[in-house]
């Protein structure tokens, strides 16, 4: 089970995630987010073992690529309406594609998008709401079990130490994406709650995360 902690803004939280063995850390580059950071800010935060992910909403492929260089990112998590072609231009091994189950009328329609984006991403993120992100609500599990995932996928949306276990019992993701449920306030992480989530997850695997895979290929 891979763990991503998103919405980081402070050096001490980045360091805590590295100390706790978090696989991926995320920085949000959407100006309307209360967790927004500029590329230069993210680039100045400590580098360590976790893979570094940028969360993008409306930016173009060119803007995303420039931000990734400045911020020192491994992966781009795409929350906008980016096409498969744009994902391909960024590099499939560097893309986490976000999908919103609530926006589909039935499992078959979402399955079609999973198949459409599978060749141009390394993993999927399933979030609550209809678009964007950071809603702080858990995902609707109505027909998640009916999907066949062609890539690893992360469960996102309002996950906390209290609801993590029942959410995982309702589906079998390859990873979880923690944000608002492990905070004191937007962008200020609660290290104890992160530890509690890790405790709920139990044994962790040693296989590389998507970000670590990308880093190894560059070497």
Q: Does residue 133 register a pLDDT over 60?
A: no
Q: Spell out the residues 6+ positions from residue 63 whose beta carbon is closer than 8 angstroms to its own.
A: 56
Query: How much is the pTM?
Result: 0.89
73-77, 143-147, 157-161, 201-205: segment of lowest average pLDDT: 201-205
Domain residue spans of the chain: 2-218
pLDDT in the model for residue 136? 60
User: What average pLDDT does the chain have?
Assistant: 90
CA distance 109 to 126: 14
pLDDT at 38: 98
Using pLDDT thresholds of 50, 70 and 90, give the confidence band for residue 216: very low
Give the pLDDT score at 218: 42
Q: Residue 130's pLDDT is what?
A: 64
Q: Domain 2-218 is classified in which CATH homologous superfamily? A: Aldolase class I (3.20.20.70)
pLDDT score for 132: 56
- Interval 196-215: pLDDT, tens: 999 999 834 344 456 545 54
Residue 41 has pLDDT above 50, yes or no: yes
pLDDT of res. 219? 37
pLDDT of residue 209: 52
Whether the predicted pLDDT of 109 surpasses 50: yes
pLDDT at residue 7 is higher than 90: yes
99 touches 125 (CB < 8 A): yes
Q: What is the pLDDT of residue 164?
A: 94
């Amino acid at each position: 089970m891979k763990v991503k902690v998103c919405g980081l803004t402070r050096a001490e939280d980045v360091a805590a995630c590295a100390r706790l063995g978090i696989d991926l850390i995320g920085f949000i580059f959407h100006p309307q987010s209360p967790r927004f950071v500029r590329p230069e800010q993210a680039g100045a935060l400590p580098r360590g073992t976790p893979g570094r992910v940028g969360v993008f909403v409306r930016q173009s492929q060119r803007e995303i690529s420039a931000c990734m260089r400045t911020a020192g990112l491994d992966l781009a998590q795409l929350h906008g309406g980016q096409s498969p072609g744009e994902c391909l231009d960024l590099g499939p091994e560097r893309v986490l594609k976000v999908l919103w189950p609530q926006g589909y009328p039935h499992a078959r329609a979402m399955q079609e998008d999973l198949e459409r984006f599978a060749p141009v991403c390394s993993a999927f993120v399933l979030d609550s709401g209809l678009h964007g992100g950071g809603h702080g609500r858990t995902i609707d599990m109505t027909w998640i079990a009916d999907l066949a995932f062609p890539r690893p996928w992360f469960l996102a949306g309002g996950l906390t130490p209290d609801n993590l276990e029942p959410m995982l019992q309702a589906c079998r993701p390859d990873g979880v994406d923690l944000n608002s449920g492990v905070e004191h306030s937007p962008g200020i992480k609660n290290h104890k709650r992160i530890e509690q989530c890790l405790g709920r997850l139990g044994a962790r695997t040693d296989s590389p995360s998507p970000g670590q895979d990308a880093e190894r290929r560059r070497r």
